[in-house]
């Protein structure tokens, strides 16, 4: 099979010729720039600076030669602007605090503060307050909360809707150009569409806006989902209208290129429990997920991708009932998320995209042999019958020993041969 055929078979719950693999198609299935650079060096690929394709988490672009070497079956079709509100274009050199030579977009504008932390500016505007901070000794940015004092009597949902707009002609043209670029690809295509991420906590602080209004503090937002549900509903209702229009515009611009669409990264699980009850999910989130997924299934051949970290076992059936086809990152270390249990109970109804190796313990702190064994075990559990795309559990982090990352790919290579 070609990679695109392999992905299409997998997400249709048909067993492909070999396990399908994703690394780098989304902001939750990637690798840190440091890891990408070390992999290029390990495999003897051309020496060149890695591009920072997702600056918030400092994820590295996995270029064609490395995709081939790693046996990756997917690639991404991302929107016009990244999470800090500027386009990935007009690349220029930048030296990371840990000494790595990288390539960043021209609007990747930073400065050091008095503590030596690296600050980054929304839309590359140095006259705006910085929206991200990379602490000294850190490897990615944390959001800087920029929330005005809350006036409870004058809260306006429109303030939390500033970023949710219908794609303009320039943004649609971007999608069209990217689709043309990918039209001849033999890999499966995973796309993102603006407006579909209801309450995604990475987006609530709006690091892409220069002067965000409304509820932007993460703690305050979580409290709002319990004590200001009318306010949240008002946001989601309008956002859903925008999302449906954007889905239609992206479909028109991209034709049949897309295989999977990344809908939402809202996390419902902690390490041991959940952020909300299943009843709260049904009332506050499910109505909008169902509208988005219904449009997708009625108008396209796309499969819809739901990301949620943590102990989401109680939600899996509800995700499926909401129309989601795919669950990521399949955090098997969380409570009630044992691989065998997930596969036996849900394997015929949801595609597990991830779960291939634990990125909290085994991959960063285990031995290469332990990594190898865990990868083989997870493939043996999840792969039979299709419905499994191999990826680590969320992004591979900066200081993960490269010998462990290589062991992961060696296990995949062996199981595929």
Query: Residue 122: is its pLDDT beyond 90?
Result: yes
Q: What is the mean pLDDT of the chain?
A: 97
* Residues pairing with 306 in the sheet: 264, 327
| Per-residue model confidence (pLDDT) at position 148 | 86
Closest CA to 284 of 318, 246, 330: 318
The whole-angstrom separation of Cα 290 and Cα 320 is 10
Q: Which structure tokens are listed for 417?
A: 């041969």
Are the CB atoms for 112 and 61 separated by under 8 Å?
no
Query: How far are the Cα atoms of 30, 78, 92, 368 from residue 104, in angstroms, in the given order?
Result: 17, 16, 5, 32
pLDDT digits (tens, 9 = 90+) for 378-393: 999 999 999 999 999 9
pLDDT digits (tens, 9 = 90+) for 21-48: 999 999 999 999 999 999 999 999 999 9
The whole-angstrom separation of Cα 173 and Cα 169 is 6
- For residue 91, the tally of other CB atoms under 10 A from its CB is 15
- For residue 1, the tally of other CB atoms under 10 A from its CB is 15
Burial class of residue 417 in the structure, from the number of CB atoms within 10 Å of its CB (0-12 exposed, 13-18 middle, 19+ buried): exposed
pLDDT digits (tens, 9 = 90+) for 310-329: 999 999 999 999 999 999 99
* Residues pairing with 50 in the sheet: 102
Mean pLDDT to the nearest integer, 230-257: 98
Mean pLDDT to the nearest integer, 81-99: 97
pLDDT digits (tens, 9 = 90+) for 320-367: 999 999 999 999 999 999 999 999 999 999 999 999 999 999 999 999
Q: Which structure tokens are listed for 324?
A: 């989601």
* E-only strand ranges, 101-198: 101-104, 110-112, 118-120, 132-134, 142-143, 188-192
The whole-angstrom separation of Cα 280 and Cα 285 is 8
The whole-angstrom separation of Cα 38 and Cα 36 is 6
Closest CA to 93 of 126, 54, 64, 52: 52
The whole-angstrom separation of Cα 31 and Cα 406 is 13
Domain covering 3-30+59-83+147-416, topology = TIM Barrel (3.20.20)
pLDDT digits (tens, 9 = 90+) for 176-193: 999 999 998 999 999 999
The ranges assigned to domains in the chain are 3-30+59-83+147-416
% of the chain at pLDDT higher than 70: 100
In terms of pTM, does the model score above 0.95?
yes
Query: Residue 88: is its pLDDT beyond 90?
Result: yes
């Amino acid at each position: 099979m070609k990679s695109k055929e392999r992905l299409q078979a997998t997400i249709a719950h048909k067993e492909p010729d070999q396990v399908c693999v994703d690394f780098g198609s989304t902001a939750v299935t990637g690798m840190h720039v440091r890891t990408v650079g070390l992999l290029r060096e390990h495999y003897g690929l051309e020496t060149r600076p890695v591009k920072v394709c997702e600056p918030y988490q400092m994820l590295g672009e996995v270029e064609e030669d490395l995709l081939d070497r790693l046996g990756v079956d997917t690639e991404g079709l991302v929107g016009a602007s990244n999470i800090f509100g500027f386009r990935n274009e007009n690349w220029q050199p930048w030296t990371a605090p840990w000494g790595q030579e990288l390539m960043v977009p021209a609007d990747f504008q930073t400065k050091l503060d008095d503590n030596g932390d690296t600050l980054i500016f929304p839309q590359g505007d140095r006259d705006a307050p910085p929206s991200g901070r990379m602490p000294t000794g850190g490897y990615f940015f944390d959001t800087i909360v920029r929330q005005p004092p809350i006036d409870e009597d004058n809260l306006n949902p429109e303030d939390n809707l500033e970023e949710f707009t219908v794609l303009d002609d320039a943004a649609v043209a971007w999608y069209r150009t990217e689709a043309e670029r990918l039209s001849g690809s033999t890999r499966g295509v995973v796309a993102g569409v603006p407006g579909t991420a209801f309450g995604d906590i990475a987006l609530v602080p709006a690091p892409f806006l220069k002067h965000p209004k409304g509820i932007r503090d993460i703690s305050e937002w979580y409290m709002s989902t319990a004590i200001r549900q009318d306010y949240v509903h008002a946001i989601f209702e309008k956002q859903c209208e925008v999302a449906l229009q954007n889905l239609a515009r992206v479909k028109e611009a991209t034709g049949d290129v897309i295989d999977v669409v990344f809908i939402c990264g809202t996390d419902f699980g902690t390490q041991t429990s959940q952020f909300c009850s299943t009843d709260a999910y049904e009332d506050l989130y499910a109505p909008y997920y169902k509208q988005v997924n219904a449009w997708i299934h009625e108008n396209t051949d796309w499969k819809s991708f739901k990301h949620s970290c943590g102990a989401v076992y109680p939600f899996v059936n509800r995700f499926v009932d909401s129309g989601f086809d795919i669950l990521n990152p399949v955090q098997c270390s969380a409570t009630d998320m044992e691989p065998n249990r997930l596969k036996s109970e849900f394997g015929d109804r949801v595609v597990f995209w991830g779960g291939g190796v634990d990125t909290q313990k085994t991959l960063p702190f285990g031995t290469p042999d332990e990594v190898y064994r865990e990868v083989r075990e997870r493939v043996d559990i999840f792969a039979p019958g299709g419905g499994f795309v191999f990826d680590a559990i969320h992004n591979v982090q900066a200081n993960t020993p490269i010998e462990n990352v290589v062991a992961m790919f060696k296990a995949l290579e062996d199981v595929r041969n």
